[in-house]
Amino acid sequence: MVGETFLFGVLASFQSCLCWALQGAGVETLTPVPSLAMTDGILGKAATMEIPIHGNGEAGQLPEDDGLEQDLQQVMVSGPNLNETSIVSGGYGGSGDGLIPTGSGRHPSHSATPAGPGDEVARGIAGEKFDIVKKWGINTYKCTKQLLSERFGRGSRTVDLELELQIELLRETKRKYESVLQLGRALTAHLYSLLQTQHALGDAFADLSQKSPELQEEFGYNAETQKLLCKNGETLLGAVNFFVSSINTLVTKTMEDTLMTVKQYEAARLEYDAYRTDLEELSLGPRDAGTRGRLESAQATFQAHRDKYEKLRGDVAIKLKFLEENKIKVMHKQLLLFHNAVSAYFAGNQKQLEQTLQQFNIKLRPPGAEKPSWLEEQ
């Protein structure tokens, strides 16, 4: 009962949005927007739904499905772009020539003046935009219906178990690498604060060595020690910055690019299942002349979406393979760098620390140097 009421409400709202979009495109619609009475009927059905009562007498809350809301937003966000061309006439504030207004039983009066070239162009643009909105509306309706059917357990979906497992593993890996990236940035901030403290402490020791003759030697070698630690810390900070930058590129660019292809694949899978279900329903219906034409059209549309789905499935498989190879190559180098740099720093081996940076071609910016522009970093 809850699923049917929610589905009816979504479809009614979608009809209202479609009529509004058609009117915005300069096309008068013959289908009226759902009235207030219809809306009240929907709300009345929703208000009479059964609400479970717990043993303590409190009304239970209906479970909220955040994934369903996100999937619906993803389906609705791929709407047509109606701003590519401008409509000269029709729509809000237009003359509305050649359009039959809704709610009027009178036929439009034919003008004796023939339509000019501008009116023909405007009608052509309006018709083109009407076709775009119509195709988008049909596609969105079918995908929304398929999505809700899958969520309420009434529809079937195509599943590639091996590919789905790899996609889920990628998402889990991305979450873990994001955690490593966050910790690496925190380590960089702490190291920078430590360097600033050591630098200030070294300057204070050096100043006191000049003003305290009786403690000049003690303040002097403590100042030299802090300066040496500060120098090694700057080298370590450069290595850690390089490590964090490489992880950031891997997570926010390489993995994100693969996940964008995964989102396209999932959208294509939903469309494929939606048109597959539509074709199956037509195949089970009566076979007459009209149905045969619709069946052939549905078969052609289904085949086009099937080809798109299989192409994107192959693209996702290839990108996942290349991503895994690239991840292993990058992380092997970065983990070796991080280990050698940290070990040399805490062992006090300045020479090994410098050799580590030379091994991985890391160049430190001198103190006070300006940060390179984004074009130089590319």
The first and second tokens of residue 157, run together, are 């979906």
From the number of C-beta atoms within 10 Å of its C-beta (0-12, 13-18, 19+), residue 160 rates as middle
Q: How far apart are CA 203 and CA 223, in angstroms?
A: 7
Cα dist from 323 to 122, 256, 329, whole Å: 49, 11, 10
More confident residue, 25 or 363: 363
Question: For 242-279, what is each residue's pLDDT tens digit?
Answer: 999 999 999 999 999 999 999 999 999 999 888 888 88
Q: How far apart are CA 243 and CA 275, in angstroms?
A: 47
The first and second tokens of residue 208, run together, are 């006191």
Percentage of the chain exceeding pLDDT 90: 35
DSSP 213: G
Q: What is the pLDDT confidence band of residue 332, given thresholds at 50, 70 and 90?
A: very high
Is the Cβ–Cβ distance between 237 and 188 less than 8 Å? yes
Q: What are phi and psi of 53, to 5 degrees?
A: -115, 125
From the number of C-beta atoms within 10 Å of its C-beta (0-12, 13-18, 19+), residue 316 rates as buried
Q: What is the pLDDT confidence band of residue 36, given thresholds at 50, 70 and 90?
A: very low
The first and second tokens of residue 19, run together, are 């009529």
DSSP 370: P
Q: How far apart are CA 295 and CA 280, in angstroms?
A: 10
| Global pTM exceeds 0.85 | no
What pLDDT shows up at residue 58? 43
